[in-house]
Copies of this chain bind each other. A is one copy, B any other.
Amino acid sequence: MIEYRNLRVALLGAGSVGAQVASLLLEHGPELATRAGAGLELVGIAVRDLDAPRTADLPRELFTTDAESLILGADIVIELMGGIEPARTLILQALGSGADVITGNKALLATHGPELFEMAEQVGAQLYYEAAVAGAIPIIRPLRDSLAGDRIKRILGIVNGTTNFILDRMDTAGESLEQALATATDLGYAEKSDPSADIEGFDAAQKTAILASLAFHTTVPLDLVYREGITGVTLAEVEAAKRAGYVVKLLAICERLTDADGVEGVSARVYPALVPRSHPLAAVHGAKNAVFIEAEAAGDLMFYGAGAGGVETASAVLGDLVSAARRHVIGGPGVAESTHANLPILPISHVTTRYQITLSVTDEPGVLASVATLFSEHGVSVEAVTQSVSSSEEGAHPTATLVIGTHEASEAALAATVAALGESAVVSHVTSVLRVEGS
């Protein structure tokens, strides 16, 4: 029996996620009310264009273009417009009026998160954002609550479905990057007009900033997240990785580390990396997402599921809505931001990892020795070298391909090594430099 008054829910945005949220809220209202302890009344949906086509059939009278008036009377505001403005201003207004806010806006959280959380704290309102990272996968609550008694060492995440789809096509169907991108665009995974948010790693970087902030209780600004996209990944690299027992994945990495000077800090970075085939992340195919967490006590955990999609992401939004409603009814804590640790954010040069470097070299005696010397001069220890079949063009010097796997080395030492390799007389060119993660 529900004795609490109805809660007024305002929705901003009716795109693929917003339309599904509205549709599910209208369809499952009574069931959600039972779980929340209060009726949930959708009082309106703010959109830019009243006549735009929608993916769900929604009552026309709910739509309005006047977002500001809509949020004024709301207990809970769901922001699913995306982008920085007017989303930022509307969320600040909503929080300012005492409403709890639910958002899936990763770009906004990654750039203006602290401002929004500060406003929420000042007025005692709550800001929920389960949908902002990894779509339907519950990751915010597990990090914030379930692992609150543990210390997170590292997170390796596949948090962008489009790039995972592309890399998976390259790996399983032998498509080139361009072909795989075209397939992704045809299937609606990639934006036709501008796929750069995905393939350049901007989307993954935003999610990395949010995850790292949460995992390490530290504000991680987006511009301190190191970022490389997948545009430089070649089919030859993917195929060579396959032969060597690896798969190439675009990883969002959040790591607690102590650098050479003994400074404890946080590294947040996004780049394509070699992942051993035996690692659970290697089995994440298609547009699926997964977040792999290494914690001091809990050990290795993985959360897997749909990282995007209207109805899938709507599930995360509605979970937040029920939590927000319960808090209205019973009171108590929501998803507060916690930045008490405030660790320094370390630049990529402080990171150490393993590398796999592919070189095209002159095939003559002494080359391996001189390449090996060059690595050791820069303090990079070689773990394994594979020399593959020589090829030579008519009249040219014969060449060979060297694949060099290193032990853990710093980014700084590696960058110096690669620069020196580029200038070496015996090296024709540096074909590929990839980091190895998850091993």
Contacts and interface: CB of A to CB of B under 8 A. Distances in A.
A123 B309 CA distance: 43
Interface in A285-340: 295-306, 309, 311-312, 314-323, 326-327, 330-333, 338, 340
A214 B227 CA distance: 41
A35 B304 contact: no
Interface string A1-36: 000000000000000000010001000100110111
A302 B304 contact: yes
Interface of A: 20, 24, 28, 31-32, 34-36, 130, 136-138, 141-142, 145-151, 217, 280, 283, 295-306, 309, 311-312, 314-323, 326-327, 330-333, 338, 340
Contacts of A301: 136-138, 303-306
A143 to B, nearest CB: 9
A147 B138 contact: yes
Contacts of A130: 146
Contact of A151 (B28, B314, B331): B28
A302 B148 CA distance: 21
Contacts of A320: 149
Given A148-B318, A280-B283, A319-B148, A24 B333 contact: no
Contacts of A331: 331-332
A145 B150 contact: no
Contacts of A150: 315, 318-319
A136 B332 CA distance: 25
Determine how many copies of this chain the complex contains: 2
Contacts of A303: 301-304
23 contacts: A24-B297, A28-B151, A35-B217, A130-B146, A136-B295, A138-B141, A141-B141, A141-B146, A145-B322, A145-B323, A148-B318, A149-B320, A149-B322, A150-B318, A296-B315, A297-B312, A297-B314, A297-B315, A299-B312, A300-B305, A301-B304, A327-B333, A330-B333
Contacts of A137: 301
A149 B298 contact: no
Given A34-B340, A302-B304, A303-B303, A319 B138 contact: no
Contact of A317 (B34, B149, B326): B149
Contact of A147 (B146, B295, B311, B315): B315
Contact of A327 (B299, B302, B332): B332
**By CB atoms of chain B within 10 A, which of A34, A301, A311 has the most?**
A301
Given A283-B280, A303-B303, A315-B295, A35 B332 contact: no
A338 B296 CA distance: 32
Nearest to A31: B151
A149 B20 CA distance: 12
A20 to B, nearest CB: 7
B20 A297 contact: yes
Nearest to A37: B333
A102 to B, nearest CB: 10
Given A297-B136, A312-B298, A332-B330, A319 B147 contact: yes
Contacts of A299: 136, 305-306, 309, 311-312
Contacts of A146: 130, 138, 141-142, 316, 319
A141 B149 contact: no
A27 B306 CA distance: 38
A297 B28 CA distance: 12
Contacts of A217: 35
A20 B149 CA distance: 12
A343 to B, nearest CB: 12
Nearest to A302: B304
Given A327-B332, A327-B333, 5 more contacts: A31-B151, A136-B299, A146-B316, A283-B283, A299-B305
A302 B302 contact: yes
Nearest to A340: B34
Contacts of A306: 298-301
B20 A321 contact: no
Nearest to A314: B297
